[in-house]
Amino acid sequence: MTVSAATRLDVARPEESRHRTLWHDAARRFLRNRLAVAGLAIVVFFLSLAVFADLVAPYPYDRVYYDRVLRFPFELAGHPLGTDEVGRDYLSRLIYGARTSMTVGIAVQMVAFVIGVPLGSLAGFVGGRTDFLISRFIDIMTAFPGLMFSILIISVWGGGITKVIFALSITSWIGIARLTRGQILSLREKEYVEAARCVGVSRNRIILRHLLPNALTPILVAISFGIPAAMFGEAGLSFLGIGINDPIPSWGKMVGVSNAYVRVYWHLALFPTVAVALSMLGFSFVGDGLRDALDPKMIE
Amino acid sequence: MARYILGRVLSLLLVLFIVSVVTFFLMHQVPGGPFDETKAPLPPAAKENILRKYGLDKPIHIQYLNYMKNAVLHFDFGIPYQQPTTTVTALIAKSWKVTAQVGLMTVLLAFGAGIALGVYAAYHQNSWLDNVTTFIAMLGITVPSFVIAMWLILFFAVRLKWLPMGGWNASGTCLIGSAYICTDWIMPVLAYALGPLAIIARYTRSSVVDVMRQDFTRTARAKGLATKTIMLRHILRNALIPMVTALGVIIPNLLTGSIFIEAVFRINGLGKFFVTSIFNRDYPMIMALFLLIAFLWSLTYLFTDILYTWIDPRVRLGAEGGA
């Protein structure tokens, strides 16, 4: 379904170059999309902040200066974005906050991929009772709000970054599994799969070599939208005060804490909210761009 | 139809059962209890009495059965640990009105403004308002409501000092003309509504554009009907069918979104109790709130599915993936 018009013409080409053509086309379409490129720039910016936080941040995230509590931006030379309610450099905490946010976003989607894709393919390909069980399980999981599940898990096992990832992962794979199942269901009736089956290709090989590569693009798009969703989940939990624990910085938690100080210390609220909004916009632009680039049918 | 509804109701009950079991057993996994002795050491006899009073000395499955029996038969969800002088039912009864008020106003604003913006944008494609709508839609869909709420507070309450920082039905200027309107409604509803408003505007715009290209619209125009008639009778009627799907997405999210809005604006509704219950490990309260949300959530799904088939006869019920 995602084979582009160009590749459909030269089916005779060896598999390697066909793959390169699809991705090459997609990259070209992606780079022509201005919003997608802007989004990519934002994502790269925050990702590098996350990776190189130790080098970029002027102070450790947990260093407390008792004599510099609640300073405004540029009030002190060493703290361009001011300090927080216990006297920690706000810029450094924002930078390390990127690390928290990105880690959770990416880790949760990795779990979603690792659980959702195998389960979805199994349900879609094997069918019958396996499909019934997995589908009903998915239905039941959908029948309850995902964020509520995470809150429930957190309230039972407590906060912290690994528990937040765990709590958000519990529901994150459902969409991926359902999507994969649908993809596999529609793809397995295609002629080329029938042909492969006729010449005696094994089930696993059909799934891995014929079905999954063709199902991959929509899954990829879903993952790219899932990352900001997971970041939202982390920010939300931390905002309520039940996500990331002190002293690890989290943008959501910084917003939540700032609520008590916002009347005077506006900078505590402004900077983390901008960080949350920018990073999520960036990831969404990339997701939109990827979707349009990978699905040639969208172009009209 | 009746068979389909019956099946859906049964699966709703199954879901509620599973949710209640999972919640109940998870709640009892929580480290520490409401009568933690680190806070107040108790003599063993007193502790035993307290445990017996709340039924905490029985095996867990008996506790569950007792709980469900009281909940279903007597609508009795126990006594909240945070306010032992009332019941959970009374506490929820007291605070749901505020949450429902916020939610109702949000739905009205989101649907009213969202449909209006979407229709306008479809009729004036690539005009400045269309671009503004697209921008707002992007913001509303991607940025969390509590971030928008914070920005509104920073701008309208802190910077301009036009609006109160928070509260609900609390700020002084409650009477404007003869209508009962509070200034402290504005920011929560705005922050809360922006996300759904954006989704609705987007849905409406694309489906109006779609219907505008249909043959029957061209026929209506060709036979000389007024633009307004075509818009109301031909386009909107058909374009609004997908809105039911949007409803199914938006209403459940509103149920959980209230937690954030109530936290930012310090509104004493269900959402606030939700958070305080988790902090206080108030099992009965958490249980009841989770069941309530699961119930409303499944009910919305059921309702929108039925509504959809009722509005659009082309949808066949019961078929796999058809509804």
Question: Per-residue pLDDT tens for A1-12?
Answer: 444 544 444 444
Mean pLDDT for the stretch of residues A23-36: 83
What is the per-residue pLDDT across B228-275, written as a single tens digit (0 to 9) for each? 888 877 888 777 777 777 777 777 777 777 888 888 888 888 888 888
Mean pLDDT for the stretch of residues B278-292: 81
pLDDT tier at A38, thresholds 50, 70, 90 = very high
Amino acid at A133: L
Q: B153 in contact with A at a CB cutoff of 8 Å?
A: yes
What is the per-residue pLDDT across A44-80, written as a single tens digit (0 to 9) for each? 999 999 999 889 888 888 888 888 887 888 888 888 8
Quote the pTM value.
0.82
Whether the per-residue pLDDT at A94 is higher than 50: the answer is yes
Sign of CA dihedral A155, B90, B64, B37: positive
Q: A202: burial class by Cβ within 10 Å (0-12, 13-18, 19+)?
A: exposed
Phi/psi at B28 (5° precision): -85, 0
Mean pLDDT for the stretch of residues B5-30: 81
Q: How many CA atoms, within 13 angstroms, populate the side-chain half-sphere of residue A64?
A: 6
Q: In whole angstroms, what is the distance from residue B119 CA to residue B228 CA?
A: 12
Mean confidence (pLDDT) of chain A: 84
Q: Which of A228, A242, A266 sits opposite B278 (nearest CB)?
A: A242
| 8 Å CB contact between A119 and A236 | no
Q: Which of A140, A147, A284 sits opposite B256 (nearest CB)?
A: A147
pLDDT of residue B178: 53
pLDDT tier at A100, thresholds 50, 70, 90 = very high
pLDDT tier at B135, thresholds 50, 70, 90 = confident
Q: B303 in contact with A at a CB cutoff of 8 Å?
A: no
What is the per-residue pLDDT across B159-179, written as a single tens digit (0 to 9) for each? 887 887 777 766 655 555 555
Mean pLDDT for the stretch of residues B183-200: 86
pLDDT of residue A46: 94
pLDDT tier at B35, thresholds 50, 70, 90 = low
Consecutive H or E run containing B86: none
pLDDT of residue A20: 59
In chain B, the percentage of residues whose pLDDT exceeds 90 is 2
Q: With left for phi above 0 and alpha for psi between -120 and 50, is residue B167 left, alpha or beta?
A: left
pLDDT of residue A45: 95
pLDDT of residue A188: 82
Which residues of chain B are within 8 Å of residue A228 when distances are taken between CB atoms? 142
Q: With left for phi above 0 and alpha for psi between -120 and 50, is residue A49 left, alpha or beta?
A: alpha
Which residues of chain B are within 8 Å of residue A157 when distances are taken between CB atoms? 29
Q: Which residue of A has its CA nearest to B135?
A: A281
Closest CA–CA distance from residue A11 to any residue of chain B (Å): 33
What is the per-residue pLDDT across A188-245, written as a single tens digit (0 to 9) for each? 888 888 888 889 888 888 888 888 888 888 898 899 889 999 999 999 999 988 889 8
Q: Which residue of B has its CA nearest to A272?
A: B147
Q: B175 in contact with A at a CB cutoff of 8 Å?
A: no
pLDDT of residue A6: 47
Q: In whole angstroms, what is the distance from residue B155 CA to residue B152 CA?
A: 5
Inspect the interface and report whether the beta carbons of B297 and A280 lie closer than 8 Å: no
pLDDT of residue A138: 86
Mean pLDDT for the stretch of residues A25-30: 82
Q: B295 in contact with A at a CB cutoff of 8 Å?
A: no
Inspect the interface and report whether the beta carbons of A284 and B151 lie closer than 8 Å: no
Inspect the interface and report whether the beta carbons of B263 and A240 lie closer than 8 Å: yes
Q: Which residue of A has its CA nearest to B161?
A: A263
Q: B43: burial class by Cβ within 10 Å (0-12, 13-18, 19+)?
A: exposed
Closest CA–CA distance from residue B274 to any residue of chain A (Å): 10
Which residues of chain B are within 8 Å of residue A240 when distances are taken between CB atoms? 259-260, 263, 275
pLDDT of residue A272: 92
What is the per-residue pLDDT across B41-79, written as a single tens digit (0 to 9) for each? 777 787 788 777 777 777 778 888 887 887 777 777 777
Which residues of chain A are within 8 Å of residue B19 when distances are taken between CB atoms? 143-144
How wide is the angle at C-alpha A12 spanned by C-alphas A7 and A15, nearest 5°?
A: 70
pLDDT of residue A77: 82
Q: B143 in contact with A at a CB cutoff of 8 Å?
A: yes
CA-nearest of B48, B142, B145, B116 to A287 is B142
Closest CA–CA distance from residue A20 to any residue of chain B (Å): 32
| 8 Å CB contact between B122 and B204 | yes
Mean pLDDT for the stretch of residues A171-196: 88
pLDDT of residue A184: 87
